[in-house]
Amino acid sequence: MTKPYESELHIALAAVKQASLICRSVQSAITDEVLEKKDKSPVTIADFSSQAVICRELLQAFPADPVIGEEDAAELKESENQEFLEKIVSELSVAGIPDTTPEQVCSWIDHGGAKTYSNRFWTLDPIDGTKGFLRKEQYAVSLALIVDGKIVVGVLGCPNLACPEDQSVTGTIYYAVAGQGAFAMPLEPDNSQVSSPIHSTTTQDFSESRFCESVESGHSSHGHSQQIAAQLGIEKDPRRLDSQAKYAIVGQGEADIYMRLPTRAGYREKIWDHAAGVLLVEEAGGTVTDIHGKPLEFDQGYELANNQGVIVTNGLLHPKLIQTLKELGIS
């Protein structure tokens, strides 16, 4: 008997793996090849290459499924970016992807251009933590399937994160299917037999807990997290790392808490920055809400329009943390 979403998981794992290996190869060679987006954030050859290969796989396997991805090919089609596009095409062709013409690559990328909610869709962040990628630190390739507003499959490729089972191996793929648990396996070699379950911690005492947060103080208020830590008696130094790798760190019990505290009231989190990570942590035994303690709503389009910030814990620490945010006037 097949398990629910078995074929979706199989395709998602293969796609994220392929993209993660391409990102890894671009990262080892990267110089200063960055395009600045309209919101001034960076995007690289690897972001576009990753979105292209994952959308190509999804298009072949599930042609009717929309993909709400972070990137689109509009800027790549501008003549001044022709050389940049050529580099993406060449990266994909070196990786053995057939039919790589500039037009085909743009059309794969634009397959990820859906922006509105539907009852079954994928959401994709081809590189989450592009700034971490450029610093040669942490980043993640993140893909999730959402059905009727619920995250049912989540796959997170973390090419620079040590494998929980064997710290000498760098590069881990995490995955979860709703109701089936959360797992980690090495990105290489290709052997899905070696996947092992991950679990969040059972820490109940804040003085023994560790939290993680973004490296970027513009993405999450470090001042507020320090205030919360002082109030709750958290003594350990926070771990700062880029991307949804933070969800993996809580999911595998290396930290008890991940705080993402709004820096400005108007910012709305994007679904592709959270979906895979949320399912991973929930299936590992943890809890995810916004700063008000409300569940994240993945049926609002490409943004978490009804939520502010994100709080992730092992579950046990959740109520007190949410209460403290309120008491300190942060939520």
Ligand X SMILES: Nc1ncnc2c1ncn2[C@@H]1O[C@H](COP(=O)(O)O)[C@@H](O)[C@H]1OP(=O)(O)O
Based on the residue annotation, tell me whether 130 is a catalytic residue of this protein: yes
Residue from 231, 228, 62, 63 nearest 153 by CA: 62
Per CB under 5 A, contacts with Mg ion among 127-146 are: 127-128, 130
Residue 218 within binding range of ligand X, rule CB under 6 A: yes
- CB of residue 214 to ligand X, shortest distance in Å: 3
Instruction: Please tell me the count of residues contacting Mg ion according to CB under 5 A.
Output: 7
Q: Please choose which of ligand X, Mg ion, none residue 323 contacts, taking the beta carbon within 5 to 8 angstroms, the exact cut-off set by kind.
A: none
C-alpha torsion sign, points 160, 162, 163, 168: positive
* Bond prior to 189 in cis (omega within 30° of 0): yes
Provide the annotated binding site: 70, 125, 127-128, 273
Compute the distance between CA of residue 327 and CA of residue 229 in angstroms, rounded to an integer: 13
Strand ranges across the sheet with 182-186: 67-69, 120-128, 140-147, 150-163, 166-177, 182-186, 196-197
Compute the distance between CA of residue 219 and CA of residue 243 in angstroms, rounded to an integer: 11
Burial zone of 51 (CB within 10 Å; 0-12 exposed, 13-18 middle, 19+ buried): buried
Residue 242 within binding range of ligand X, rule CB under 6 A: yes
Nearest CB to ligand X, comparing residues 66 and 129? 129
Residues whose CB falls within 8 Å of the CB of residue 264, separated by 6 or more in sequence, listed in order: none
Residue 129 within binding range of ligand X, rule CB under 6 A: yes
Fill in the DSSP letter of residue 141. Answer: E
Q: Which residues pair with 184 in a beta bridge?
A: 174, 196
Tell me the window of 127-135, 171-179, 191-199, 318-326 that interacts with ligand X (CB under 6 A).
127-135
Residue 269 within binding range of Mg ion, rule CB under 5 A: no
Provide the annotated binding site for Mg(2+): 70, 125, 127-128, 273
- CB of residue 41 to ligand X, shortest distance in Å: 4
Q: Please choose which of ligand X, Mg ion, none residue 219 contacts, taking the beta carbon within 5 to 8 angstroms, the exact cut-off set by kind.
A: ligand X
Residue 125 within binding range of Mg ion, rule CB under 5 A: yes
Per CB under 6 A, contacts with ligand X among 36-55 are: 41
- Choosing from 3, 86, 226, 267, the residue that interacts with ligand X (CB under 6 A) is 267
- CB of residue 136 to ligand X, shortest distance in Å: 14
Q: Catalytic amino acids?
A: 47, 130
